[in-house]
Chain A
Amino acid sequence: MQRDNRRLKLLTRRAALVAGGQVLLLATLAGRLYYLQIVEADKYATLADENRINLRLLAPPRGRIVDRFGVPLAANRQNYRVSLIADQVADVDATLDAVASLIPLSGSDRRRVMREIKSKHSFVPVALRENLSWDEMARIEVNAPELAGISIEQGLTRDYPLGDMASHVIGYVAAVAEKDLTGDPILELPDFRIGKNGAEKQHDLDLRGNAGTSQVEVNAFGRVVREISRDEGSPGQEIALSLDAEIQQFAAQRCIAEGSVACVVMDAPTGEVLAMVSTPGYDPAAFSAGLTSAMWNELLRDPLNPLSNKAISGTYAPGSTFKPMVALAALEFGISPETRVTCPGHFQLGDSVWHCWRKQGHGTLDMRGGIKNSCDVYFYEMARRLGIDRFAAMAKRFGLGATLGIDMPGEKAGLIPTRDWKLATFGIPWQPGENISCGIGQSYITTTPLQLATMVARLVTGKGIVPRLTRDAGIMKPDQVLAEPVFAAMGVAQKDINIVLDGMYAVVNEPGGTAYAARIKEPTMAMGGKSGTSQVRHITQAEHERGVLKAKQVPWLERDHALFVSFAPVGAPRYVCAVVVEHGGESAGGGSAVAAPICADILVEVQKRDPGRRVPGGQVADRVSTRS
């Protein structure tokens, strides 16, 4: 009993110690709970939100590009794609295998995905395949629970209703290349496309819009449970171009028939470009979807150079289309339009001889005759009297030989040579003989089709018209009074301009004019113009003596370019059109035979539609007056 009592006392003492220890430990637990839930609560609340809340970027829909009447030239179309977020995938290879067992996934797709995963933030989705069929989408969705980090997303693909008929001027969008990455995460979104050419590139930043964000709650496996908040961002701005889709389409169809052609149609008083064509074109949608290297190489190797926008990037010797500039310079210099020059078919200066395109000569001609017949000898003589610097200055005033600042990437300057330029460039002084060939727009002189159209626009308006492709005021609206752009006067005497324009009238509308065959017979729509042939290959003296080869005997790439610049209607010129047909100089008539009919057809169409004055609803503000 005594032993039991001692044992009980010992047990009681020790049990009290154990209980005391337990109280201490329980207090520790309570303290720990307090520390976690009160002291560190904010830190863990933040961590909890970081765990479960993902911020996702939403690509804004790209702005549309429309023509002057609001007809879409570039728009967006729905498309489904499957993408992968590397962050949420344990084993990328295994996941790709699993996806490949459900939908076709090519080896090159897989290599691209691996490459993209390496170069992008791991939380950014990487597209595995675009344009899924409904079946493929369903297969992925059904197996979604086993495919952590894989999701189906809706995207927008760029659609180009005019296709290759406006490919250069609209341009295209394509996936962001590594060199385009600026650190802006929106550029890393899988479906994000940026403008790579044409208006798409020119207005890329406006068209892009601002990225939206979506806060989503995800579970531990990265699957989205719900959306907490969403900021749609702002869609890209709509860009209105001055183009008229109908004219663009008509001109493109007309040009493609002649092979490699550049064409610019302009509303002269406003400088608005109504059509800008470069054939052959390409399919801009193919770039958006992703071009295969085979397609790309084919485009690169094509001798017709479909990737180049020849209307602004092609530089051609203007040939005889340059003659109005020489005529104007002569008039301004004080040479009378009545001054007569006799053309025996050739022109001699010192020991050198230059030929007229008409071997038998034109006889004696005044300025009107010189322009009408495009007599080379007449302009050789004018150039000799003026010297390069005088008519080069006139050409520059009319927009040749320097970029016009058109709102479109890729504009080339061309070249109008001067004495100083020659000395600075080659270190050799200007030779008197060089005046001669420059007088007919050959030699160093190169211009773009846009410059030629601008030249005519300045000629018919007497103002320093600057071409524009964007309508800042948006599409044309009924009853809208727009301030016509103000252009400074050219400072050239109107009577001089009238003389040149009269010559250009004669070229088309009088028998014997070089483009008489291409005249517009409808009197209210008659055009004036000037033909030109641009020598591609230097014709040697020996060849002249043997007789110039017939064009058909010359390989296509060495054939001359055919040019025509025109305006209509002749009484109150409003529309201008410049056409260059590469290697189209089939006959001695040059531009007249192939380029002039294109201009005529287009100008008829333009005058019928009258897009410069047409307002929505098909009304035309006032009819073009007949020739005075």
Chain B
Amino acid sequence: MSSSEAVPIETASAAPAANAAVTARRDRPSAGWALLGSELSVMFRRWRTWAMLAALAAVPILIAVAVRVTGRGRGPAFLDQITSNGLFVAFTALVVCVPLFLPLTIGVVAGDTIAGEASHGTLRYLVIAPAGRLRLLAVKYAGCAAFCVAAALTVAVAGALIGAILFPIGPVTLLSGSVVSVGDAAVRLLLIALYIVVSLLGMCAIGLFLSTLTDVPVGAMAATAVLAVVSQVLDQLPQLDALHPWLFSHYWLGFADFLRAPLVWDSFVSNAWLQAGYVAVFGALAIGRFLSKDILS
């Protein structure tokens, strides 16, 4: 991309102003991928994004250091296996992050999508550029999904690295009792990260919708994060059995299936369908709201 841009830039910088050819518009619209590129580059240039990823990376580091300092410990799943195999730092950290830390960061990113632009007053300029309201929503959602990928990978990779530094790494004993190689375990770790990314897509859609309702990003962020907590609390109440399979957090911790041999995909498939349903419903609500919204910010 940079090589194709280099020539016109240099020609123009010799005489930047009043160069009619430089400011000419295209005759036909481009496919419009540039806006997605811009969205991603802005997101990963923000100090806030890196702060959240650093906080997520701190979770496996804290776990590993604590276990290393205090010796064998009791706690969340897999914790007792860390001392014998460092890869379990990553598994443990993912289990710890899924209920709260990951939803918090996703809440911040998803709640900020539209409301953040509105609060800066940049939303009106994107709309009149014109970005196209539907395209803007799609780009914002894609950016949010990209953050989910970055967040899940950050925890998994940071966990594997700190585990490898502080503990021995070797073949992994699965929940089903069989033993797999380090390479096989690493693939399973990435599959779990993928499972978690898929798990969070429904929540991204909820955040996107809430973000179209307000010009105050903090409100949308908090509401999104609170919904994640509420969904998990409801999932704990046996009286609401009938409701459980419909809660977007219902399969969040179902990735233990990926630690069995052979791989069991049942939870992944159920989860993917559920998340797709949430994306469809809240995506439609967001579109319905945003396409007709009076932009007064």
- The answer to whether A binds B is no
